[in-house]
């Protein structure tokens, strides 16, 4: 088995300073994805039948489902909220555990 050693610790307690150019690049990256997301949402609003058509299988034995934009959004937000809640709870538990182990 190979042995991998690092010259620096992978996880340290201190955070490095971010460069201004790196911060600008990250902000542009985030803004670009917000822009793309807004375009996708706008496309779904302008053509509501496209999303349902893409979600349907071409199997003729299954019944056709007419799902409105509100229902799809509700289920999407519900799944996202559940995932965010699970990630938040796990991060909080890890932080509390780390804080408790330090004492």
Per the structure, the complete domain to which residue 79 belongs is given by 67-103
99 and 79 inside one domain: yes
- Rounded to whole angstroms, the Cα distance separating 14 from 27 reads 23
pLDDT of residue 16: 61
Task: Give the total number of structural domains in the chain.
Answer: 2
29 and 51 inside one domain: yes
pLDDT digits (tens, 9 = 90+) for 64-76: 777 777 777 777 8
Could you give phi then psi for residue 52, rounded to 5 degrees? Answer: -65, -40
25 or 47: which leads in pLDDT? 25
* Nearest one of 47, 46, 66, 45 to 56, comparing CA atoms: 66
The reply to whether 45 falls in a domain is yes
25 and 47 inside one domain: yes
Residues 6+ apart with CB under 8 A from 92: none
pLDDT value at 93 more than 90: yes
* Nearest one of 75, 80, 24 to 52, comparing CA atoms: 75
The reply to whether 12 falls in a domain is no
């Amino acid at each position: 088995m190979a042995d991998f050693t690092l010259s620096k610790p992978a996880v340290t307690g201190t955070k490095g300073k971010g460069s201004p150019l790196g911060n600008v690049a990250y902000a542009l990256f985030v803004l670009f994805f917000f822009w793309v997301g807004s375009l996708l949402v706008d496309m779904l609003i302008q053509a509501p039948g496209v999303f349902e058509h893409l979600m349907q299988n071409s199997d003729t034995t299954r019944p056709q489902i007419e799902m409105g934009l509100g229902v799809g959004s509700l289920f999407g937000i519900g799944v996202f909220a559940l995932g965010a809640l699970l990630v938040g709870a796990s991060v909080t538990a890890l932080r509390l555990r780390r804080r408790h182990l330090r004492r």
